[in-house]
Structure 1
Amino acid sequence: MKELLAATTTTLVMQTATAQVPASITLYGLMDAGMGYTRLSGAYKDPATGRTLRVSKSRLGALSGGASGPRWGLRGKEDLGDGLHAVFQLESGFDSRNGRSLQGGRLFGRQATVGLLNARWGELRLGRQYNAATRYLLDMLGPAFGGFSLLHTGYGLGMSSASFPRYDNQIFYQTPSMGGIKAAAGYAFSVNDTRNAETGYATANNTRAITAALQYARGPLSAFLGYDQLNASRLLSAAQAAATPRAYIIGASYDFTALKIAVAYNRVADGWFAGRSFRDGGRVGGLAGTPTYAFSKGLRSNSHVIALAVPTGLSGHAFASWQRTDINTSRLTGGDATGQTYSLGYSHNLSKRTDLYALVSHTRNWAFVDGVQALDAYAGLRHRF
């Protein structure tokens, strides 16, 4: 009886103590679904045979994530006292057309982190999370661009090291803002988790990543610069292991109220960081696709982006962007022509959390294949909760 009373008392004390700790957990998410149309046309030289081939094909169908990737997640914060907080975030990405998990089938493939936050010394996070450049590019664009993927196309263009690379096993630190200046750095022990990463042995068997960035944001001006590097696993082929992909990125934006303009430049050497495929199943140019992190010693690419956003009263925003990527070799991509994409888009707010959107874009030298053009048009509905 005494043991039962003692156990009951202990349980009540623990429940009372837990109830007194200020904590919060938020369930959030985003749904994005629509229709899309793509047409490829033109003539190109087959790299295998040297023959000139013509391409003319199109597709029309349901679209997932035309403006923003569908997701749901949990984030929480607990006050530990003296300005210190425990924080966590679990975020799952999925295909709105069929409900399947994305990011390789991971349950929380977009983010899975836990850490400590203090207003004076900054924030430390551990787990699967974005690299530094992606975070600061999104901060620079802000809500004016509505989360639109105007800067991230599926054709190997755009900002390779800021096209949402996520590193597994990452420890990431970010300073508080000091006069508008903020810095961040991270190290990933294995960018794609393996059994070796779980045991902690044979570190060189894993592909590791270094990421760092510096941001300035004050008033209407925002600017950042970032650096990423991949250290190849020794289990890769000799040619791949000889490459050390490096990426440098710089960007800035200014909000004139009636117009917001953003510019960015990205230089990548010896590989590719973007989680975007160079090819679709049509294998135009002779290559089916590339892995998320690609290694190719001698590869060089230079990407430029200019984007504009114009508010249209309280109802929405109009967008425009130009992207250009110059690549120096066809070794990885199957083509080495300079690619350019011109895009126009519009989002119309139905409420604070729901909007309709439409986008049309034209790409010259699609996927770096000389002579192939692409036309994209899609529209959809997006809801945040």
Structure 2
Amino acid sequence: MKKTFCIAAVLSCATAGAHAQGSVTLYGLIDASVQYTNNQGGGSTVAMSSGTTRGSRFGLLGKEDLGGGTSAIFRLENGFDVTDGSLGQGGLLFGRQAYVGIENDRWGAVTLGRQYESMVDYVAHLTSADWSVYMEHPGDMDLTNRGVRVDNAVKYTKTYGAFTGSALYSFGGQAGSFGKDSMWSWGGSYDSGPLYVGFGMTYARQPGDRSAGTFWKAANSADGEFVTVAHSFLTMGGGAAYRFGSIKLGGDITSTTYKDGFENQDVSFMNYEVNGVYYFTPALSAGLGVTYTDGKVDANDGDPRYIQYNATATYSLSKRTDLYAFATFQRAMGDAQVAQVTQFISPSSTNKQVSAGVGLRHTF
């Protein structure tokens, strides 16, 4: 349950004639697990992990009524590692999100700051990464594991009935070059009853310049050598999910291209995923998913490929506290040499890697 602190009374006492009303909501999530991985650099490991299913966080969400259907809004969201208390996202205080903006009931919202792009907003919910960060598409190459937040971003969002859409632009901040290190993104979703449909597209120039505090790292076995040298990056995708009775079925397709990613030629990947969840009771559910990744390296006709199988189970002790278990297996094929189910652990020394664990998640 989120805790809301209303400040309207304070405002009315402190300012004569004050008419605006506002609120600030404190919220958060703490996720910790014990996990086993069969091969990290040649040996098996057992370790504690933070944010296995959802990144551990706390945040402040604020809104002030300005009248006429218009409000000022803000969000400050911190990520942290519950195992040792350290800051997440490269040590940033509000590394998950930090923005301020204006929202109007009729015209939509404009926000400025560090924000998510459209692949996270509209497509990530359709992937197995929504169950666990250990179930991302290889290297989080399509951003659906929320590994990249966008700094210096202006974002417009509008909801019309069951449809929500947005467009984002991020200024590169490079003197003498308006476009260098810039990003843009757009997408939308249709969410009505049992049906959800989402799509998105994101483009970044010089993605390697944004590697600090993100999943765009040279150490990524699937795409690290490509993203750090690429002239630009383009990912797009979409999918749908439908729930009928106790079953929810979904699927998604994404495409990612690293322009000039290897020997001045393009590198591209396609991800194809299907998944499903069965709700045994309102408190107990289990999910299965499979993702096939097909790559193409133009410079040498390389064909890195991966297949990953994901399984999860959740039991709710209350509305705010869940026990969960997960298991994921990845096999690298073709020209892909090693497996790595997520950037949170080291690559395997072989083309196979298995990770599994149990944990506890609490929201407030």
Query: Matches of 1:296 and 1:92 in 2, distance apart?
Result: 38
Query: Matches of 2:132 and 2:201 in 1, distance apart?
Result: 22
Q: Give the counterpart letter for 2:38 in structure 1.
A: R
Partner SS state of residue 99, structure 1: coil
Query: Is the Cα–Cα contact under 8 Å of residues 273 and 289 in structure 2 kept in the other structure?
Result: yes
Structure 1, gaps ≥5 residues long: 1-11, 42-54, 191-196, 273-292
Deviation at 1:380, TM superposition (A): 0.6
Query: Matches of 2:255 and 2:84 in 1, distance apart?
Result: 36
Partner SS state of residue 162, structure 1: coil
Number of aligned residues = 325
Query: Matches of 2:12 and 2:360 in 1, distance apart?
Result: 49
Q: Give the counterpart letter for 1:299 in structure 2.
A: V
Aligned residues with identical type, % of pairs: 31
Partner SS state of residue 104, structure 1: helix
Q: Give the counterpart letter for 1:227 in structure 2.
A: M
Query: Matches of 2:207 and 2:318 in 1, distance apart?
Result: 48
Deviates more, 1:87-96 or 1:213-222: 213-222
Deviation at 1:204, TM superposition (A): 4.4
Query: Is the Cα–Cα contact under 8 Å of residues 224 and 252 in structure 1 kept in the other structure?
Result: yes
1:87 matches 2:87: no
Query: Is the Cα–Cα contact under 8 Å of residues 207 and 230 in structure 1 kept in the other structure?
Result: yes
Matching residue of 1:30: 29
Matching residue of 2:277: 309
Equivalent runs, 1:225-374 vs 2, <5 Å: 225-232=199-206, 243-270=231-258, 297-329=265-297, 336-365=303-332, 368-369=336-337, 372-374=351-353
| Residue 57 to residue 271, structure 1, CA distance change in 2 (3 Å) | farther
Query: Matches of 1:218 and 1:356 in 2, distance apart?
Result: 29
TM-score by length of 1: 0.75
TM-score by length of 2: 0.80
Q: CA offsets per residue over residues 175-225 of structure 1, 9 Å max, x none?
A: 1224x22221000113xxxxxx3xx73344841101000222222111122
Matching residue of 1:160: 142
Query: Is the Cα–Cα contact under 8 Å of residues 38 and 59 in structure 1 kept in the other structure?
Result: yes
| Residue 231 to residue 313, structure 1, CA distance change in 2 (3 Å) | same
Deviation at 1:56, TM superposition (A): 4.0
Deviates more, 1:23-32 or 1:161-170: 161-170
Larger Rg: 1
| Residue 18 to residue 349, structure 1, CA distance change in 2 (3 Å) | farther
Structure 2, gaps ≥5 residues long: 1-10, 211-226, 339-349
Partner SS state of residue 134, structure 1: helix
Q: Give the counterpart letter for 1:86 in structure 2.
A: A
CA RMSD, Structure 1 to Structure 2 (Å): 3.4
Deviates more, 1:28-37 or 1:295-304: 295-304
Query: Is the Cα–Cα contact under 8 Å of residues 244 and 297 in structure 1 kept in the other structure?
Result: no
Query: Matches of 2:193 and 2:74 in 1, distance apart?
Result: 29
